[in-house]
Structure 1
Amino acid sequence: MITMETDLQRRKMADDSEEDEDLCIMDEGDLYQGDQDMVARKTTSDAADLWTTLKKMLFVIGSAIIIFVALRNSLTYHLQHVWGASGNFWQQQWDRILYTFGDDPFVLMVYGTTVVTFLVYWGAGGLYTLMDVFNKPAFLRRYKVQPGTNEPVETYRLIKCIFWVNFNQIIIGIPFSMGAYYLMTLRGYDQSPHLPTFGWVLFELIGCILLEEAGFYYSHRLFHHRLFYKRFHKMHHEWQSPISITAIYSHPLEHIISNMGPVFLGPLVFGSHTATIWLWCSMVYLSTLNAHSGYHLPFFPSPEAHDFHHLKFNQCYGVLGVLDLLHGTDDKFRASKCFSRHLMMLSLTPPREAIPDVDPNAKVIKCKKL
């Protein structure tokens, strides 16, 4: 009898432990008080959720089409006018690059892409890192997504992160770029000394964004599977409150499959010009550096979704959030106050002050600590 009661107690404790893990996975995040006022969502059927998602997507796409059709002539004229006015400037810069470093497609694709992305990554990521190391300027701490974390960042963890990021960028990144070059050569791509037109660059960037979203969401979610998580992806999740340069702090295999692979899909499909690839990779790095920064700064895209992913582990796998909505992998995020703050702030008021956690009308779900 005592043995049976003991087994029942153990099962209950195991169930409680799993529930705690779903609600609040924290250690360093104990300082963070982000979702005490999480509101339980009304449960609906999968069919109803899918229909709601499709209606929202159709509304957004339909509205965009109507606006585009109504303004296409005026919009096209002004954009082409701006591009035409600056086109000579950009072409001159590209000609200067070709004159200085040569027009060897291999050098431009492999070493040029490596240098450009390295400078972008450490230029923007270095500024964020200085903020975390010195805690200055002090007023920016008000914009922390998880207040009280990385104040300052631990030196050992930072050095370890810097080592692996450089390893991925150089030791892993250069051979990947070589392979990418040969695949692009087999596929055929734009090696012209002339830059592509504005319209084509815009079209390619939109396609690259959509392809990267699909590639990253499903590969990222795959690395969360129990067969791959402990061996590969757990490394990236050592940071429950990430800092900017942890963006590509990951196992080398994950970096190839889930970081660089999805980014390469678009250029491979479209046979992009090298300059377009540089622009696209720079945009991706700036986006992921912001998403991991831990700061929700005014006039910057919101990092709340991916920060929530690091905090809760099994939410918000994608970049745009469309596939998360479609697959229901953002339900806890949408039930939290973090979702209310998931927008570009157009004022200098910190998001946590503009939309505080405390809501007297909300139903509170207590968050247990492990």
Structure 2
Amino acid sequence: MANIVDQASESYRLTIETKYNEILATKFGGNEILAELIVSSLISIGLYWILGLIYFVVDYTKKPAFFYQFKIQRNNDQLKKDKVGKLLNQIVFNQIFHVILAYGLLLIKYKYFPIQRKVPTLTWFLFEFVMFNLIREVTFYYSHRALHHSSVYKYIHKRHHEWQSPIALAAVYSHPIEHVLSNIFPIILGPILMHSHNLSGYIWMAYSIWETLIAHCGYHFPGSPISPVFHDYHHLKFTCNFGVYGLLDKLHGTDKLYRNSPFYKLPRIYFSLKPSTDMIYNSDKME
């Protein structure tokens, strides 16, 4: 089956590879480090602000009311001027730090690691994508749980939890140490270990940023393929749901509080125009 799929899509793969190499040569003079630094920065910063600000407008204005009704944690207005200012300052600092760190890591990558210059087949890319998710799940879970340890929590991770009712822009509102350990490292490790083509890395990066914004947005919209309820509950209670998908939380039993809460009964995907959280708030059983 894999050979059939790859053979059928081979002409598209070759077209993409040719176009990629052409852009690399004409727009970046063949400088792969410069190309990766610029493209990855545009993705990580540009996509973050575009989507984050869209959510922020809804949070701040509470309009359109149709969208705002899907807010998971209700009656928890945290958008105070001083808090928003602190949020924006930290995000900008982390993103500048991210670009500087990325440049250093790219110098190391292109000097010591094998570079894949062949665009992957469709089936190999799908395999890579699964591996990227598994690697991130493991690294994020353990780094995130370690940051909750009492000996370091108040010095590092407590900053991120200032947003008990998270908003999308607060996804990378964190101490710089946390930003490296839990935000950057789990995402870049997969493509490095898999010796992936840069194009695979760009797609994975864009997906990861979109997913973390969804996880922190605080809205459970109908039809969304990703439910933010799991991570939103982590911000509500602090002591459970340390992973992305909950695989290791289930293994280690760190999702028990969540499983015993009414939030666990909410559907991951639903298509009703009635907010899923109505079943909690209307029943007066919120925990």
Paired-residue identity, %: 35
CA contact (8 A) 1:290 1:303 kept: yes
Return 5+ residue gaps in structure 1 as ranges: 1-72
For 2:218, the aligned partner's letter is G
- Rounded to whole Å, the distance in 1 between the matches of 2:269 and 2:87 is 28
1:177 CA displacement:
1.1
1:37 matched residue in structure 2: none
The whole-number CA distance in structure 2 between the counterparts of 1:204 and 1:112 is 20
RCO greater where, 1 or 2, for CA within 8 Å and sep 6 or more?
A: 1
- Whether 2:77 is the aligned partner of 1:155: answer no
What code does the residue aligned with 1:155 have?
K
The count of aligned residue pairs is 284
Q: Which has the larger radius of gyration?
A: 1
The reply on whether 1:175 has 2:100 as its aligned counterpart is yes
Counterpart of 1:238 in structure 2 is 162
Shift of 1:157: 1.6
Deviations 1:46-71 (A, max 9, x none): xxxxxxxxxxxxxxxxxxxxxxxxxx
Q: Secondary structure at the match of 1:263?
A: helix
TM-fit CA distance, 1:345:
1.6
Of residues 278, 284, 287, the one that matches 2:211 is: 287
* Aligned-pair CA distance for 1:109: 2.3
Match of 2:20 among 70, 94, 100: 94
Structure 1 residue 176: deviation in Å?
A: 2.1
Q: Measure, in 1, the Cα distance between the counterparts of 2:170 and 2:158.
A: 13
| 247-256 or 336-345, larger mean C-alpha shift | 336-345
Whether contact under 8 Å (1:244, 1:294) holds in the other structure is yes
Cα shift readout 1:9-38 (whole Å, capped 9, x = no counterpart): xxxxxxxxxxxxxxxxxxxxxxxxxxxxxx
Map 1:201-240 → 2, pairs under 5 A: 201-240=125-164
2:228 to 303, 317, 335: 303
Which residue of 237, 242, 256 maps to 2:180?
A: 256
SS in 1 for 2:277: helix
Could you tell me how far 1:180 is from its partner in structure 2?
2.5
Tell me the TM-score normalised to structure 2 length: 0.90
TM-score (norm 1): 0.71
Which whole-Å CA distance do the structure 2 matches of 1:204 and 1:92 have between them? 21
Aligned equivalents of 1:267, 1:85: Cα separation in 2: 24
CA contact under 8 A between 1:141 and 1:147: conserved in structure 2? no
- Asked whether the 8 Å contact 2:156–2:178 carries over to 1, the reply is yes
Provide the residue aligned with 1:108 in structure 2.
35
Paired residue for 2:114? Answer: 188
Q: Return the offset for 1:108.
A: 2.0
- 2:272 paired with 1:347: yes
Q: Residue 268 of structure 1: which of 156, 176, 192 is its match?
A: 192
Deviations 1:255-290 (A, max 9, x none): 011111111210111111111111111111111000
Q: CA offset at residue 95 of structure 1?
A: 4.6
Structure 1 residues 194-225: Cα deviation after superposition (integer angstroms, max 9, x where no partner): 52221221111111110110000000000001
Whether the 8 Å contact between 2:231 and 2:241 is mirrored in structure 1 is: yes
Give the Cα–Cα distance (whole angstroms) in 2 for the partners of residues 246 and 286 of structure 1: 13
Shift in CA distance, 161/80, structure 1 to aligned 2, threshold 3 Å: farther
**Which secondary structure does the structure 1 equivalent of 2:149 belong to?**
coil
Quote the offset at 1:112 in angstroms: 2.1
The answer to whether the 8 A contact 2:37-2:102 is kept is yes
Cα deviation for residue 79 of structure 1 reads 7.5
Equivalent residue, structure 2, for 1:314: 239
Corresponding residue number in structure 1 for 2:122: 198
Tell whether the 8 Å contact from 1:164 to 1:250 is kept in structure 2 after alignment: yes
1:327-338 equivalences under 5 Å are: 327-338=252-263
When the two chains are superposed, the root-mean-square deviation of aligned CA atoms in Å is 2.3
CA distance in 2, matches of 1:319, 1:76: 32
